[in-house]
Each structure stands twice: as C-alpha cells, then as structure tokens.
Amino acid sequence: MPSDLHDVLGDRRLLVLTGAGVSTDSGIPDYRGPTSPVRTPMTYQEFVRTAEGRQRYWARSHVGWARMWTAEPNATHEMLVAMQDAGRLTGLITQNVDGLHERAGHRDVIDLHGRIDRVVCLACREVTTRADLHERLAALNPGYESRVGEIAPDGDVVLGDTGDFVVAPCLTCGGDLKPDVVFFGENVPKDRVERSYALVAEAEALVVLGSSLHVMSGLRFVKAAHQRGIPIVIVNRGTTRGDPLASIKLEAGVAETLARAVLAG
C-alpha cells in the first residue's frame, strides 16, 4: 500500500463506498467525471407524472439495456472481492445500479440506489426481472433496439423522437412499471440507509472510491464517519463534496490505487 495510505489506514478493516467511477472501466459512463458531458437525468417526479416521460425513459432504456447488461466486472470489482476474501473489508455500499459488484462475486453488497436488473410496479409493488421485461418490450417494439445513440449513465441511450415506443404494463395489475432504482428526486429506502449507518458505526476506516459525493445519499455516510473520528480516504478524479472531511484525498484512478494497495498487503 502506498506509504501515505498505509500510515492512515494501517491494518484497519475497511468499509468501502463506491460510485460511478468504479464502473467506467467496464464501459459505463458516469455523470460527473472530469470529462463527462452535462446530462439531465430522468427525475422521479417526471417519471410518475406523465405517460410521455415514462415512454421516453423506457424507449431509451430498452435500447441501452443490451449494452448495459453485457458490461463485465473490471479489475476494481475483482480486487474488492479479493480484499473481502482476505478479511480486509467490513462491508461495501455502492451507489451504482449495475450489479457488477455482485457479479464479480462480492457478498452482502448494499445497493444504495437499487438495481437496474429489477423492475417494480408502482401500483402493486411486485418486483420482476428486467430480462423478462426486455423480452416483452422487444415483442411490442420489433427492431427498436437496433436504433443508434450515445450511451448515457444508468444504461439508457440518447435518442430523438420516442413517441412511437409501446410501453409494457405490469402483468399482474396493469400498473406502470419502473426500474427498481432510486431516481433523482426520490428517497433511498429507509432500511438501506439504516443498514449503511450500521456499517459506518462498526467501521475502522472508510474508503470512498470513484464518487463525487454530489448527492447526500452517499455524502451522509462520509459525514457520519467524520463524526466518529475514523480515517476517511477518498480516491476520485475530480473534486468531491467530501474532500474537506478526508484524511487523504487522492486524485487518481481507482484501479491503479487499489492495485498498489493489494500488492502491498
């Protein structure tokens, strides 16, 4: 481990909080990286308020799904699994919705913002798989997924007019379907927040990887760690809202920093 990190972290067992910068090496872009274009994500309010908003979301997401779900875990995901297996981690909280930590073999991940591979009905709350919905949408919209557009964070693709896209309803009650993720403007479920705070309360140090901490959903755990007085290390290209609270802030790539840490023990 680089000497400055070792001085701060020592042999402490670590709680890790990951953000979009962990998945960029898997081909999934982030919202707030130094070279990321300005994007306007779908909000929860827009999604639930208008049929047109849901139609636009599902059209873009349908085209992007195949690309999103063919993404593979990268070296960072694999090194975190190795650190877990070696007993270095007390837990992992991710702000990502791609499921790549679990696919890499990580256990007991807290998916703070949900999972894009699940779908929930806004009426009856039944949860189903995104793979099943994708097949239904493909049948309702033959050839639609061949449309071309720039892939955006969270797996959607930037498209033009989506007014011809046919949205699939819930098979159980006919209600509106939503990906089982926390949209901008929506609250993180209370149980996930409580579980995450419990991990902070038990942690010997907190390491933040690839997150700008722009939203309070992740920043609050950095604040809680700071209140406890435990070491905080932030690794991210670009400034973060947690920088003033960090014991060490590294403007560096996540994978290269973890590789040095793993090799050093």
Q: Write out the catalytic residue numbers.
A: 113
- CA 157, CA 176: separation in Å to the nearest integer? 21
CA angle 184, 186, 192 (to 5 degrees): 110
69 CB-side CA count, 13 A:
14
Q: Which two tokens stand for residue 15?
A: 């709680």
Q: Which two tokens stand for residue 107?
A: 């256990």
151 — phi, psi (to 5°)? -75, 135
Q: Which two tokens stand for residue 208?
A: 């933040």
* Nearest by Cα to 58 from 17, 107, 119, 143: 119
Which ranges of 25-165 would DSSP assign to H, the alpha helix? Answer: 44-49, 51-69, 75-85, 100-103, 130-140
CA angle 234, 235, 240 (to 5 degrees): 65
CB 18 within 8 A of CB 210: yes
Q: Which two tokens stand for residue 233?
A: 């290390």
